[in-house]
Amino acid sequence: MTELRFDVVERSAWLTLDGPKNKNALSPALLETLMEHCAALARRDDVHVVVVRGANGTFSAGADPMRFMARMRGEQAEDGADLGRRASEALSALPQVTIAAIEGYCVGGGLVLAACCDIRWAARESRFIIPEVALGIPLGWGALPRLVALVGETATTDLVLTCRRFDVEEALRIGLVSATFDGDDLHERVATIASRPAGVLRTTKTQLAAIRGGTFEPRADARALITALNDPESQRAAQNYIARRFRKKR
């Protein structure tokens, strides 16, 4: 059974799917643990970035069908079927910047969780597949609108209905992932984002969420700018940036 390991390194939290015997398959219990961690992280101002990744060279083989079937019987069947959506929304709603660090296979429900993150980076050997329709079930967990927003209706329809595997080059081309990573490069990139002022990171995430939801108000940018200019952490970031640029010119 896959465990969800939780670690905090300086300003970043790492949620690691760890199930060596089942390729990090997702279970109802794991999704409930994920929601608990999300609820706790939402109250933490000391964490700037949340990274979701898989152990053992695999992101996730997707939902464990037997464990989910056991939860989708009787009067509570709909609650069990809706668990993935609730977990997806809990991850998506985090105030911190979220990053999916994908290695190896990213399948079905695993891809859905990755799509909930603000940034998706993938190792060169990563492979993706959305097999639900081939398994005789529709893609759930609120995934279709997320995928359409990320890669467009045409690509989503193709990948969901053909259930074909695709590689990281195609994932880059359609916009499912934004960049590749290798080794320590991942930790360096995460640390760079985590070093940014917390207020600016959260404001930017709020702005992006408003754009996706069709509620963005450009006039609010002025208030956000004034808030940042009066924030001590943002002031220090500006001073450090200017000092670095000045040293380079000399």
d(CA 99, CA 117): 5
Strand partners, 122: 102, 180
d(CA 217, CA 65): 42
Domain range for 222 is 197-249
d(CA 98, CA 42): 12
d(CA 56, CA 34): 19
Residues 201 and 128 in one domain: no
Q: Could you say which of 143, 166, 192 is where a domain stops? A: 192
Q: Are 31 and 87 in contact (CB under 8 A)?
A: yes
Residues 130 and 157 in one domain: yes
Confidence class for position 250, pLDDT limits 50, 70, 90: low
Instruction: Tell me which of 212 and 250 has the higher pLDDT.
Output: 212
Residues 37 and 65 in one domain: yes
Confidence class for position 22, pLDDT limits 50, 70, 90: very high
Q: Could you say which of 172, 192, 212 is where a domain stops? A: 192
pLDDT score recorded for residue 2: 84
Which amino acid appears at position 59 of this protein? F
Residues 234 and 175 in one domain: no
Q: Are 41 and 96 in contact (CB under 8 A)?
A: yes
Strand partners, 53: 16, 101
d(CA 157, CA 3): 32
When divided into structural domains, the chain yields a total of: 2
Which distant-in-sequence residues (6+ apart) come within 8 Å of 149 by Cβ? 212
Residues 59 and 172 in one domain: yes
Residues 84 and 107 in one domain: yes
Which distant-in-sequence residues (6+ apart) come within 8 Å of 224 by Cβ? 203, 207
Residues 105 and 67 in one domain: yes
State the pTM of this model.
0.94
Confidence class for position 249, pLDDT limits 50, 70, 90: low
Query: What CATH number should be reported for the domain holding residue 90?
Result: 3.90.226.10
Q: Is the pLDDT of residue 246 over 80?
A: no
C-alpha distance across the termini of the chain, in Å: 57
Residues 229 and 117 in one domain: no
Q: Are 46 and 30 in contact (CB under 8 A)?
A: no
pLDDT tens profile 113-160: 999 999 999 999 999 999 999 999 999 999 999 999 999 999 999 999
Burial class (CB within 10 angstroms; exposed 0-12, middle 13-18, buried 19+) of 213: exposed
pLDDT score recorded for residue 196: 96
User: Torsions phi, psi of 79, nearest 5?
Assistant: -60, -40
Secondary structure class of 26 (helix, strand, coil): strand
pLDDT tens profile 186-240: 999 999 999 999 999 999 999 999 998 899 999 999 999 999 999 999 999 889 8
d(CA 162, CA 207): 34
CA dihedral 118, 94, 181, 54 (to 10 degrees): -130
Confidence class for position 248, pLDDT limits 50, 70, 90: low
Residues 245 and 133 in one domain: no
Residues 129 and 144 in one domain: yes
pLDDT tens profile 43-85: 999 999 999 999 999 999 999 988 888 887 877 889 889 999 9
Q: What count of Cα atoms within 13 Å lies in the side-chain half-sphere of residue 152?
A: 7
Q: Could you say which of 192, 213, 239 is where a domain stops? A: 192
Residues 94 and 206 in one domain: no
Residues 187 and 105 in one domain: yes
